[in-house]
Structure 1
Amino acid sequence: MNTFGTLFRITTFGESHGPGIGVVIDGCPAGLAVSDEQIQAALDRRRPGQSDLTTPRAEADRVEVQSGIFRGETTGTPISLYIRNQDQHSHDYSHIEHAYRPSHADYTYDQKYGRRDFRGGGRSSARETAARVAAGAVAQQLLNQQAIKVNSYVSQVGAVAVPVSYEQLDLSLIDTNLVRCPHPETAERMADLIRQTRDRHDTVGGLVTGVVQGLPAGLGEPVFDKLHSELGRAMLGINAVKGFEYGSGFAGTLLFGSEHNDAFYTDEAGRVRTRTNHSGGIQGGISNGQDVYFRVAFKPVATILQPQSTINDQNEAVTLAGRGRHDPCVLPRAVPIVDAMTSLVLADMLLRARGNRV
């Protein structure tokens, strides 16, 4: 349950309030040039305390490469990346040692294991995703060799949504604002909503859109490990995710087949293309060479600084209010996590595709 991937595999470890968190990457080919700076840059996009829209927990999230990379290249052996925790306030969670926070994993962890680490949620904390982001940055450097681009951005916060598709956006603007939305006018409205929500001691959810460009045709397995099913599994394994759709998604159910089918043609350069892309770049579970795009739904953060009714581990009714430092909206920091999980899926699929032909 702590390992993800088939050939390009990662195993994460650590808890929110332990000494640190980390990841072991197994199956990365030897000879891949890996930049520590690119790994750190990805972690900097996810780290807490980066703006007034996120949790003020102050973690530098400095990555330590402990094995598997020598003189800037992978050796083919397991890559170990470690991130030390430095700003834990474990006392902020003493009030929930015996109480179950609404919509958290407190109760379910108790039922599964008969015990739980109540300090920040322990293993269920989104702090664990920093390890995935570090691993995803390595996977992205493998994708760079094939000129495959992965971009994710915040496309909706609450009811405030980007009014155009990704094709009409300049994705280079994603990191030009605190929300990570490449539509500047909408980004301002999103930021205002997050601040208003924070000031009410509440939280808000929304959508992240992911886009993959330059992906070759032929990636994905025909039955159980379809490309979209692996992407969906990756996204649904991220904390606070409630839904995943690719291509036309649920909106496609409103179209007739004659409207929804993507007609093939050959362009001036002799490349096979489709006139529309309702398929989201995936047909039969296999990439068709068009852009892959999808949306990931994130719920409002479960910890709110308001009194809520719940029970304790003796099944007694209690009132509980959140304490500590929490995001009023996870979306700005979720963008690099979606990027990372997408990159991990695609790196794995690239390696698996190498064995499909003589």
Structure 2
Amino acid sequence: MSTSTAPTMQALVLAAPNGALTPTWLPRPQAAAGQVLVRIHASGVNPLDTKIRAGAAEHAQQSLPAVLGMDLAGVVAEVGQGVSRFKVGDAVYGFTGGIGGLQGSLAQYAAVDARLLAHKPGRLTMRQAAALPLVFITAWEGLVDRANVRSGHKVLVHGGAGGVGHVAVQLARARGAEVFATGTAAQAGYIRSLGATPIDHEVTSVEAYVNAFTDGQGFDIVYDTVGGPVLDASFVAVRRYSGHVVTSLGWGTHKLAPLSFRGATFSGVFTLLPILTGEFREHHGEIMEQATTLAEAGQLVPLLDPTSFTLDTAEAAHALVAEGRARGKVVVSVLP
């Protein structure tokens, strides 16, 4: 007489704010209708993951206990009813959970909404692919969906060497724009390697770089990925009448008068919304297919922190991000 055991998987579970990421054996999920089961190879770590862990991200609406991790790359292990875009064995990636009550990617498997996924670029490793989804979607929604970036535009990206920023620079360049990016003196070489003109924000005033690079007219698009005073600076760096300011961190209190006095427009990006509401999730998958196209063309390469992490050392990965010591996107390798 034989007995069958339901399949399990290893995951890291956060039970309480500021708690440990505890290795736990959980039932392996199954792909429901509209879902695929992904065997996760790599999990991206974003600053928001560490804020959720610290209990400082109410907007992410993640109740505990939970498996964290928003970005994944892996291979389709099972296809649910009604899914035709993917088949077993396909390499995929996407921003698929870790918020809104959805299981995250610090686990060996996840059953995810197929609309959120795209085919992984063959030119990128699993680690590189897992670094992209959240930051690329954020960059695309700001530059393309809101500001319609195109050839002829002068684009200023604040934080051009950061997670969203370095992707935004590459995206704007791929769409034909002339790109400028703020950063530190130490980041200038990397920003220049992306094809952008670096601006040392620590020594150069807004007025000085607006005059130097736009003859005082302002930039067609300003993408703020930093927030706070940098968003206020964006309002005075944008072109009069036709300029557009976009921010992914517009959470403070700001005076809109400088923007209004320039006759410019403003948009905010909240990348989590389709995950939290269930609405327009297919657009995230569409955006990630655009990322695949750019990556395959050699126009999109994420900057990875060189340190290797596994599920056993994911605590150290979180610490690196939370303490601001990462030298690129941090990724946890789930499948050795």
TM (normalized to structure 2)? 0.26
Which one scores higher on RCO, CA 8 angstroms, separation ≥ 6?
A: 1
TM-score, normalized by length of structure 1? 0.24
